[in-house]
A and B are shown apart, each in its own frame.
Chain A
Amino acid sequence: MQVQLGRLCLPNPILVASGTFGYAREMEHLVDLHRLGGILPKTVTQLPRPGNAPWRTVETAAGLLNSIGLDNDGLDAFIAHHLPYLRGLTAPIIVSIAGRTPAEFVEMAAELDRAAGVAGLELNISCPNVTGGVDYGTDATSCRKLIESVRQATQLPLLAKLTPNVTRIADIARAASDGGADAISLINTVLGMAVDWRRRRPVLGNVMGGLSGPAIKPIALRCVYQVARAVTTPLVGIGGIATIDDVMEFLVAGASAVQIGTANYYDPAVTMRLLDELPGALQQLGASSVQDVVGTIKRVG
């Protein structure tokens, strides 16, 4: 069940996505945290952020639109209050960080490099809900430069989490790969909007938000498929994953591991079920390891 993401080795390919699992402790009675292939706590910023005004989420057809706005207490509070609990878990902890400038990313990476219990970093260069948050995820050159400078600041394995809200995601992925990312996480939420026509108002406090859940799975699969063709860097599939069929689709399309997001909200024990069902699904393809199925999708036409 082991998977290798560049320099990062994970016990299995079922991870939980940043922002959809709190700081893990909230889930300790609903999920056996030790079984997870990796835990990504909610994205941390250097300084505390209150987040956006409510309404922060609204349900859409088979999806969820959110504009949380990276509500978090900042890096110092994360290291003091959340990391001690997280490092006690056997699951690898991949800390998701977001900065407004390359310097912020670099300083945070260096600080987390010194803190014990961190298995890797995911650079959130794709949050649609904060200004400046997506620049590194939409421009290939700044993406590559950012990852290069973070690599110089830390020995920790790096994942680059990309946004689907670009014209050619393979270009950004190539830049992340050139910059030295150990793996590329695809995708963050899809920019969207909900309207209350009776009151002639946007529903979300922040007007626009990121769409997640089963509604975006086809977009995420397409991104994984396109990027798998463009780079050899391992990929982590994210977007609407809720069943073992979803997991297998992402693996076959080219992802070495997956992150479960919105499904944690509406089916808190989902990851445990996926872990139970994964060996049987691999067996159906005659595979003895996860790697045996990754990217095995056939070319048609």
Chain B
Amino acid sequence: MLSPLHAAHYADAAVQQRAEIIENVCLARDTYRVRLRSPIIARRIVPGQFLMLRLTDVNDPLIGRAFALYDTVLDGNGEPTDLDIVYLAKGKLTARMAELTAGRFLDAWGPLGNGFPADPIEHLIMVAGGIGQTPFLALGAEFLGLRQYGCPPRKFPPSKRVTLCYGARSADMLAGVDDFQRMGIEVHIATDDGGCGHHGLVTEVLQSVLDSHPGPHRIVCCGPEMMMEAVAELAQRRGSPCQVSLETPMACGIGICFTCVAKIKDADGGWDYKRTCVEGPVFDAASIQW
């Protein structure tokens, strides 16, 4: 069964480029925002899509890593020229990436994956855990009608309200909260240690947002698998439509290696492994066999 979110074509707008780093700044503890010059990808990408990044001219790390679009940057004429990616420096590639300065390059290919569908909704509730907030700045901006993405640009009636429920280990790990607030997105925070916002789980914050805003809404979610499963379960219990963006390990990002599979339910009650990079990363929460 094809998911209703299945991209019509595979990497049908993807290009491979050596992209110049315009800036690489620290946003929070171990968290950075890198700005890459790539007008072609910036013009084509939509929220929820991702690119693959790789260090130039080295064989270790060998394989590219997937990074969600944080936002595109416009030039003086309103044309997208750059891409912002927000990343947590925690491993082989990202630790090296954090050391790169403006004027250096990264190999990039994208835009990849299906992205979030442009279906209008009165209230969009975005739920993020860990580094899972990254796809939601552009998505929130688009749903508030403040920005357009894609080529040709996706256009649809704006939402009345966009909320971000954002869970992190501690206050110093929260990255980009100002960016979200500046956009007019309501931000509700939960931290494991209570250092900022609600002391506890992001699902508890989501619960109270749902209680105080019963109107037509849709939940979108990205973060650790356990959290996404909990959000999906809550959404199902409350009868709320819910989409999740999976962060399955990937090796190519373009559908040719079959690394990134997730169990997706089929029509006859069973499941099949589907490639997250081409059929996702965004799936209807109800279609996932957790």
Contact = CB atoms under 8 A, between A and B. Distances in A.
Interface of A: 19-22, 25-30, 42, 50-51, 54-57, 59, 61-64, 66, 68, 71, 213-214, 262, 264-269
Which of A26, A62, A213 has most B Cβ within 10 Å?
Answer: A26
A56 B16 contact: no
A64 B251 contact: yes
A264 B11 CA distance: 14
B267 to A, nearest CB: 16
Given A20-B257, A26-B256, A30-B109, A55 B249 contact: yes
A21 to B, nearest CB: 5
Interface in B231-273: 248-249, 251-252, 254-259, 261, 272-273
B10 to A, nearest CB: 4
Contacts of A25: 10
A271 B264 CA distance: 33
B118 interface: no
B121 interface: no
A57 B251 contact: yes
B257 A27 contact: no
B248 A54 contact: yes
Contact of A68 (B63, B248, B249, B259): B259
Contacts, number: 101
B261 A265 contact: no
Interface string B3-29: 000000011111110000000000000
B261 A57 contact: no
Interface stretch (B53-61, B73-81, B123-131, B152-160): B53-61
Q: Is the interface of A mostly helix, strand, loop or mixed?
A: loop
Per CB-CB distance, the 6 closest pairs between chain A and chain B, nearest first, are A22-B256, A26-B255, A265-B252, A62-B59, A57-B259, A26-B10
B182 interface: no
Nearest to B278: A26
A56 B261 contact: yes
A57 B273 contact: no
B258 A264 contact: no
Given A25-B10, A214-B59, A268-B109, A54 B249 contact: yes
Contact of A26 (B11, B60, B259): B11
A62 B62 contact: yes
B60 A265 contact: no
Given A42-B258, A68-B257, A267-B107, A51 B62 contact: no
B249 A214 contact: no
B56 to A, nearest CB: 10
Q: Is the interface of B mostly helix, strand, loop or mixed?
A: loop
Interface string B90-107: 001000000000000001
Contacts of A57: 63, 249, 251, 257, 259
B119 to A, nearest CB: 26
A262 B259 CA distance: 12
Contacts of A28: 10
Which of A20, A22, A62 has most B Cβ within 10 Å?
Answer: A22
Interface in B39-83: 54, 59-64
B16 A30 contact: yes
B171 to A, nearest CB: 27
B109 A50 contact: no
B259 A20 contact: no
Nearest to A265: B252
A71 B275 CA distance: 11
B261 A30 contact: no
A21 B273 CA distance: 18
A64 B16 CA distance: 21
A51 B14 contact: no
A30 B15 contact: yes
B259 A66 contact: yes
Nearest to B10: A26
A77 B128 CA distance: 38
A267 to B, nearest CB: 7
A30 B14 contact: yes
Which of B62, B63, B258 has most A Cβ within 10 Å?
Answer: B62
B14 A29 contact: yes
Contact of A62 (B60, B64, B278): B60
11 contacts: A25-B10, A27-B11, A30-B11, A30-B15, A51-B273, A57-B63, A57-B249, A62-B62, A64-B62, A71-B258, A266-B62
A265 B256 contact: yes
A133 B14 CA distance: 35
